[in-house]
Every structure is written in structure tokens, then in C-alpha cells.
Structure 1
């Protein structure tokens, strides 16, 4: 006959929650260490409200420069040496004074300078050269 002493005591259900609690605490510690905290300002400052003009809200016109120096104005391809007239027409249609230039990494500096001079001569006020972020 078996006695009651030889039997294992029944397992408690809460023991299976311990690994889950460990994971939750590890995640809490990770987010506390990985998060960035910004210090509070010493003085309360009322910041001014900025306003953008309609021209600043619109995306700039995009001009593409190929490796061989040819300039793309929408669907039209032009030589950078004679780009001033087509640029004027292209930007007049867009009605913009801001231009984003996306040049191929192999494009020559000369072709970019010709394009920049043409943009300046037709009255473009802001030129942005789009690049990829370096690592």
C-alpha cells in the first residue's frame, strides 16, 4: 500500500508566470535604457507661431541631371548648354521659384554649374540639391 508521503505535492499554477514576468521586466529595462530623455526647460517660453507661404507649402519643381549631363524637365530632355529657354517654359508652367536638382553621382560639375547659372538667370530663388544620406 502506498503512503501519502511518497506522492509529489501538486504543482502550483503561478510558477508558470515567472518567465513572463522576467521578460516584461527585461523589456522595461531595455526601453528605459534605449529611450532618450530631453531635459525640461528652466524657463517657460511662449514660442511664436510660424506660417508658411503658399509657395513654401508646395513641393519644389524637380529637375533631373543624367550622368552624361543632359537635363530632364518632366518628360523633356535638353542639353544643359541650351537649357535656359526650356527651363523658363517648364518653371512658368509650374509657377514655382523653388527647384530641387537631382543629379547623377557621375554627372560633371560643369553640367551642374551650367544648370545653376541658367536657374539663376531665369529668376529661381531657391535651389536644393538632393543627395543620399552618407553612412
Structure 2
């Protein structure tokens, strides 16, 4: 008995022809979701900013300072202790005073912590500081 190789080849080609459109669609969907999807940055510490009635969208800032409820400080994505934080912040602002700074502080944080950071920024020469709030929900 002789096996027909042309039949096996034809079946293999037929399966490939049926599966190729599915593979193409999967890749197109993958590309669509990669391009259209919104990627949100993960904050280094959990912060719940105070509410505000202002609905002004803030522009992106060069530096972002996060102050957690427990007092943890983060400069952009780096968790830092108080002394290293102040040293690094002062060095950055002294070398680049034109950089804008955004402060995202928890609503339950002691205000002296925020004032201390604002004073550090002022002494370093920063003039563009924004405090971030969340939009207050309608009653």
C-alpha cells in the first residue's frame, strides 16, 4: 500500500488556510488594544488627596512629590526617607529651578509636613508648585 502524500499536503495546506485569518485577527486586536489602551502610572504610595470644587485639569509636571497618610515620601517613583528626600529634591531644584513640581498629599496628612516641603522648595528656588486635589463629588 502506498500512502498518498499529496492528500496529506493538501489537508495541511487547508488547515493553514483556515487558521491564518484567525491569527491575523488576533494580532490586529492585540495591536489595537496596545495603541488604544490607556496606561495609567502606578503611584509609589497610596494617596487620597483632599476634595475641591475646582475642575481645572493640571498639566504634567516635571517632578511629582507624593506624601502618604503615614508620612512616607516619594519623589516621582522613588520611595525615600526624609533626609535623602530633602537632599535629592534640593539638588534637583537647585540645578533646574525651572522644573515644575506637583505635590500629591493625602487629605489626612499633617499640614506641617506639606509646609516643610513647600519651604524646602522655596529655599531651593522653585517657583512652579502645584497642589493636587481630586474633584469633589456632587451631593
Normalised by the length of structure 2, the TM-score is 0.47
Normalised by the length of structure 1, the TM-score is 0.48
Structure number with bigger Rg: 1
Structure with more contact order per residue of length (Cα contacts < 8 Å, sep ≥ 6): 2
